[in-house]
Amino acid sequence: MEQASSEADHGQVGSSMSLSSGVFTFPETGMYAIFVQADMQSETASTLTLSTRVSTDGGSTFNDRAYAIVRNTNSGGDARATAYSQMILDVTSTANVKVRFDFDTAITGSRIKGNTDITITSVMFMRLGDT
């Protein structure tokens, strides 16, 4: 996934998520909504998945919690579509609860599309309130 051209372009209220080696850390405990928009492309008939994976042990083990899925039934060529997922996560510990996103790259020619000028693939974390 590519990052937008400038973080200043995007709104933020309060503390932001931190990112290290593909793993997101929450700035404070609470209930969070996580929204994913993934523009995916496949060159063959296939199912593409972007998984939202959650760890509750500090990042040692991650489990799938939500999927953004695109199914390409066109056996003759490219298909591109945008898929969405959303979930609510109870972050009880900023040290232990982490999130990462995994794209199924087993299919040759599959990719997540990005653009540095506009948002076509994105993730939004929204703190809803206290846990």
Q: Where are the domains of the chain?
A: 22-129
Identify which has the larger pLDDT, 13 or 20.
20
- Express each pLDDT in 2-12 by its tens digit: 344 445 556 66
Looking at residue 31, what is its pLDDT?
98
> Domain 22-129 - what CATH class?
mainly beta
- Express each pLDDT in 48-90 by its tens digit: 888 999 999 999 999 999 999 887 776 666 777 888 999 999 9
Beta bridge partners of residue 82, listed in sequence order: 39
Looking at residue 43, what is its pLDDT?
74
What gap in Å lies between CA 96 and CA 103, rounded to an integer?
23
Contact between 54 and 65 (Cβ < 8 Å): yes
Identify which has the larger pLDDT, 114 or 3.
114
